[in-house]
Amino acid sequence: MALTKADFAERLFEDLGLNKREAKDMVELFFEEIKSSLEKGEQVKISGFGKFELRDKSSRPGRNPKTGEQIPITARRVVTFRSGQKLKARVEAYAGAE
Amino acid sequence: MTKSELIEALARQQPHLALKDVELAVKCIIEQMSQSLSSNQRIEIRGFGSFSLHARNARMGRNPKTGESVALPKKYVPHFKPGKELRDRVDESRQRYDIID
């Protein structure tokens, strides 16, 4: 089962003693704050975890994979995530545990 | 935006909570995400995106200093796929805002 917002809220309730309402709001606001920062062009760096970066892509020719038809891919801004050293190391430790 | 700026922004929006509690909450959420990924459990946040692990196959690499071949084992790397709402909001505002750190 994937981890969801409800799991984060439950942990804030159990470990930190926030009430259910506060815990739910905190989780909502946490992700909303990161989204609105990125929306304003501001990249977000969470030390120990990773960095949400923004990239402006220019338009390029693309194809409809089903029909093979050529269609242009328009210029756009995208979000990418680069994991930090600490997270990378922890995740690699999992691979070793298999 | 950095982690401490995120904490400050969240504290401003929740004036009934002590700054210390907001700080603990942010650290708790981040630690839970790291723990989840370290045990290969996916994270799914509607509207924000999902995190999962992608496997990198074992391969032969080289020590760039000595040129010596080294066997690199299969490993996992974290992967983030932005959700539709995040993708749309970021793309729709790109004309209005420059990218800043």
pLDDT tens column, A89-98: 999 877 655 5
pLDDT tens column, B34-65: 999 999 999 999 999 999 999 989 899 999 99
pLDDT band at B101 (very low <50, low <70, confident <90, very high): confident
- CA dist., res. B7 & res. A8, Å (int): 16
Task: Please name the residues between 24 and 83 in chain A that touch chain B, using a CB distance below 8 Å.
Answer: 25-27, 29-31, 33-50, 52, 54-56, 76-81, 83
pTM of the predicted model, to two decimals? Answer: 0.92
What pLDDT does residue B73 have? 87
- CA dist., res. A15 & res. B64, Å (int): 46
B87 burial level (CB within 10 Å; 0-12, 13-18, 19+):
middle
CB A12 within 8 A of CB A18: yes
Mutate: best of B4, B16, B38, partner A, most A CBs <10 A = B38
Beta carbons of B22 and A26 less than 8 Å apart = yes
Answer yes or no: is pLDDT of A13 > 60.
Answer: yes
Beta carbons of A16 and B34 less than 8 Å apart = no
Measure in Å the smallest separation between the Cα of A93 and chain B Cα atoms: 7
Residue type, B93: S
Averaged pLDDT of chain A: 94
- CA dist., res. A67 & res. B42, Å (int): 33
Residues in CB range of B31: below 8 A, 6 or more apart: none
